Structure 1
Amino acid sequence: MIVTIPKRIPPMEEIGDEIHKIILPQPFYAPNNIYLYVGSDGLILIDSGYIESIPMLQASLKTKGFSLKDIRHVIYTHNHLDHISSSLVLKSYAPKAIFYGYRAMQTGVGNYLESMYLFEEATEDLFRTAFGDPLELDRVLTESRRGWNTFYSKFKETKKGNPILQIDVAIDHNDSLELGGRNFRFIYTPGHNLYHITPVSTESGVYFSGDLIIANLTAIYSQLDGSLGDYHFTLSKLLEEPIKRLLPAHGHEIEDPKKTILLVKKTLSILEKGVIRRLRESPSDLLHLMEAAIGKKVHNGGHLPTALGLIYSIIQKLVLEGLIRIETKDSGYETFYLI
C-alpha cells in the first residue's frame, strides 16, 4: 500500500478540551471519528481507522503540520476492522508509535486476518439464519463477500504489513497511564465487543465510548464477540461514572450522556417487548423481526449485519429465558415461535 494524498482531505478539527477530531470515511459503515491529542512527545490517537484510510489520515494530519511519523501513542477501543485494521501496516509509517489495547485482546486475537475469517463466517451464518429465500440469501452473501475480499486485498497490497495484531501495552480494567503528559484511565466496557475499553481523560472527564454508545443505540455481535447481558451491565456501570463529555467513534458527540445511556436501556427494552408482541401475533423470522423493529432502510449500506445481530441477541436472550422456541432448517434458516 502506497500512502498517497487522497482527493478529498478530511479536516483535523479542534473540538474543545484540547481534543482534535478527524472523520475518516470507510467502506463498511458510518465514517470513523479519530480523536487526537497533541502530547509532549507527539500525537495520541484514540483508534486509527480502517486499513484503507491511512492515506486520508496522513493527509489530514498534514493540514496541521503533522505526519504519521509524529504518532507516538494509539489507544484501541476494540478490535473491529474499522477501528484497528490500519494497525497492521501503521507501524511501517509510524515506527515510534506504541499501541495500547485490552489485555485479553492482545492474547486472544493473534493473527488478525484469521480472526476476520471467523468474523466473516459468523456474519454469513447470521444471514443464513435470517434469509429463507435462496436467491435473496445468495445476493446478500455475494455482496458481503465482495466487501470482505476488498479488505483482504488491501492488506495483501502492502509489503510492509504484519497480520499479527500487535499490542505493545496491555490494558486492564481501571488502569491509569500517563501518555505524552496526559493522564488516562481505562474502563473495561464489554457488550458491543468482548475486548472493548473506554479511555477516559481524567483531567477533563471526557469518555471516548468507541462503539459502545452511538446516538441512542449500538450494535451487538452476539454471534461472535458481543453480549447483550454484558452490554446491560456496562451501561449500568457507566451511569455511575462522572461523565462530562461522551465522544463516540461514529456520529456526533452525545449531548446528554446520562440521558442517552438511559434511553439506550429503554430502547433495548422496547425492542424486546416488540419482538414478543409480534411473535404473539404469529411466528416470524429474524429478517422480518428486524425490519419491523428497525426498518428496511438498513438494507442500504453496511448496517444490515449489525441490525440483524442486535435483534438476534434479543432472540437469544428470550430463548434462554424459555420464552421462544426456534425451528431450524438444514440451510440454517430459523423461524421463531413464542412459547
Structure 2
Amino acid sequence: MRASTTAALLLFAIAAFAQPDPESRSRNQPVEPFRIIGNVFYVGASDIASYLIVSTQGHILIDGGFVETAPMIRANIEKVGCRLTDVKILLNTHAHFDHAGGLAALKQQSGATLMASERDAPLLERGGKNDPQFGNKFLFPPVEPDRLLHDGDRVTLGGSTLTAVMTPGHTPGCTTWTMTVRDKGRDYHVVIVGSPTVPNYKLIGNKMYPNIVNDYRHTFAKLKSLSCDVFLGAHGSYFNMQDKLARKARGDTRNLFIDPNGYRQFVAAAERDFQKELKRQQTAR
C-alpha cells in the first residue's frame, strides 16, 4: 500500500513538472536507440541525450532528460534488449530540468542507486529551485542522490569504469564522464561532455555563484587536457548527432562518433563563446 501511494505521488509530481513549451518539445522528439561503440548505447531523445552502459551484471544510465523524456528512455532501453529494472546505477551530467527532470521517475522505477556531484546535489534535492542562473524558472521533481561524487571519483559496474571529471560553470557541479571502451580489438577513450555553454548566463556580479568565471576557466583547461576518441555530450547537438546519423543512413560505414577533431573544435568554440560573453559583460559594467 505504501509503495503504491509513493508511486501515485510521484506520477502526480511528474505531471505537475511536465514541460510543454515548444523549445523543450523540439529537442525532445523520439528517436530510435542505437549502439554507439562497444557496450555504449544512445537511449535518449532527438537532442536530449541519455546513455546506457550495458553489462551482464547490470547497467549504468547517464541522464534522465526532461520529465517527459523518462518514458522514451525506458522504451529505448527495452528496444535495445535491456530492462529498466536491470539499471543499477544512475548518473547525471548536471542538475538542469532537461537532464535531471526524469531522474526521480527513473530512480523509482528501476530501484537504481543515484550518484551525482556533491556541488549539484543540493540543486537536485531542491528540484531546480534557486538555480544560480534561472532562479525558480525551470523546476523538476526533486531527487536525492545516494552517493556524492568528487573530481576523479570512479564508478564501476560489470567491467566498465566511468570517471567523474568535474567541469563546473554551467552548474556548480557539472560533470563530464570519461571511460575506456573496447571495440573490435581496440581501446577507445570516450568523453561525455557535461556542458561548457553560457546560455544568457550572468558571469559578472553573480552573487549566487561568485566563482563562476574561475570555474569556467578551470573547466576549459580540464576539457582541453582530456584524451578523446569518441565524442559525446549532454546534448546530441554538441557532437552533431543528427548529421552523423543521416550520413550513416546514406551508407557511410565508418563510426562517425569516433571524432577527436570534432571534440577539440567543440571545446575551442565553447571557450571562444565564453570569452566573448565575458568580455561583453565586463565592457557593459
On whether the aligned pair clears a TM of 0.5, the verdict is yes
1:258 to 2:264 alignment: yes
Superposition map of 1:24-35 within 5 A:
24=45, 31-35=47-51
Give the superposition deviation at 1:220.
6.7
1:58 to 2:74 alignment: yes
The 3-state SS of whatever aligns with 1:56 is helix
Q: TM-score, normalised by structure 2?
A: 0.69
**2:114 aligned to 99, 103, 110, which one?**
99
The answer to whether the Cα contact below 8 Å between 1:23 and 1:33 also exists between their aligned partners in 2 is yes
Give the superposition deviation at 1:258.
2.1
Residue by residue, what CA displacement relative to the aligned partner does 1:281-323 show, whole Å, maximum 9, x if unpaired? xxxxxxxxxxxxxxxxxxxxxxxxxxxxxxxxxx1xx1xxxx5
RMSD: 3.0
1:234 to 2:214 alignment: no
The answer to whether the Cα contact below 8 Å between 1:101 and 1:170 also exists between their aligned partners in 2 is yes
1:207 to 2:187 alignment: no
The answer to whether the Cα contact below 8 Å between 2:39 and 2:53 also exists between their aligned partners in 1 is yes
**2:199 aligned to 206, 219, 244, which one?**
219
Give the superposition deviation at 1:89.
2.5
Superposition map of 1:76-91 within 5 A:
76-91=92-107
Q: Structure 1 residues 259 and 58, CA, compared in 2 at 3 Å: closer, same or farther?
A: closer
Superposition map of 1:27-176 within 5 A:
31-95=47-111, 97-106=112-121, 108-109=122-123, 111-113=125-127, 116-119=128-131, 123=134, 163=142, 165-176=143-154
Which sections of structure 2, spanning at least 5 residues, go unmatched? 1-10, 15-28, 182-187, 241-258
Cα separation, 1, equivalents of 2:33 and 2:222 = 32
Identity %: 22
Structure 2 match to 1:288: none
Aligned partner letter, 1:100? M
The answer to whether the Cα contact below 8 Å between 1:221 and 1:227 also exists between their aligned partners in 2 is no
Cα separation, 2, equivalents of 1:122 and 1:109 = 12
Cα separation, 2, equivalents of 1:110 and 1:265 = 26
Cα separation, 2, equivalents of 1:270 and 1:247 = 24
Aligned partner letter, 1:258? R
The 3-state SS of whatever aligns with 1:193 is coil
**1:17 aligned to 26, 31, 38, which one?**
38
Superposition map of 1:297-308 within 5 A:
none
Cα separation, 1, equivalents of 2:135 and 2:130 = 10
Q: Structure 1 residues 270 and 85, CA, compared in 2 at 3 Å: closer, same or farther?
A: closer
Give the superposition deviation at 1:218.
4.7
Give the superposition deviation at 1:324.
4.0
Q: Structure 1 residues 55 and 237, CA, compared in 2 at 3 Å: closer, same or farther?
A: closer
The 3-state SS of whatever aligns with 1:177 is strand
Give the superposition deviation at 1:272.
5.2
Which sections of structure 1, spanning at least 5 residues, go unmatched? 26-30, 126-143, 156-162, 276-314, 326-339
Structure 1 match to 2:252: none
The answer to whether the Cα contact below 8 Å between 1:193 and 1:221 also exists between their aligned partners in 2 is no
Cα separation, 1, equivalents of 2:124 and 2:36 = 35
Give the superposition deviation at 1:99.
1.0
Cα separation, 2, equivalents of 1:272 and 1:110 = 27
The answer to whether the Cα contact below 8 Å between 2:33 and 2:76 also exists between their aligned partners in 1 is yes
Q: Structure 1 residues 43 and 191, CA, compared in 2 at 3 Å: closer, same or farther?
A: same
Cα separation, 2, equivalents of 1:262 and 1:54 = 32
Q: Structure 1 residues 110 and 250, CA, compared in 2 at 3 Å: closer, same or farther?
A: closer
Cα separation, 1, equivalents of 2:133 and 2:164 = 29
Residue by residue, what CA displacement relative to the aligned partner does 1:186-212 show, whole Å, maximum 9, x if unpaired? 111111110111111034311110223
Aligned length: 228
Residue by residue, what CA displacement relative to the aligned partner does 1:121-171 show, whole Å, maximum 9, x if unpaired? 96479xxxxxxxxxxxxxxxxxx7xxx5xx66xx5xxxxxxx3x3211221
Q: Structure 1 residues 170 and 122, CA, compared in 2 at 3 Å: closer, same or farther?
A: closer
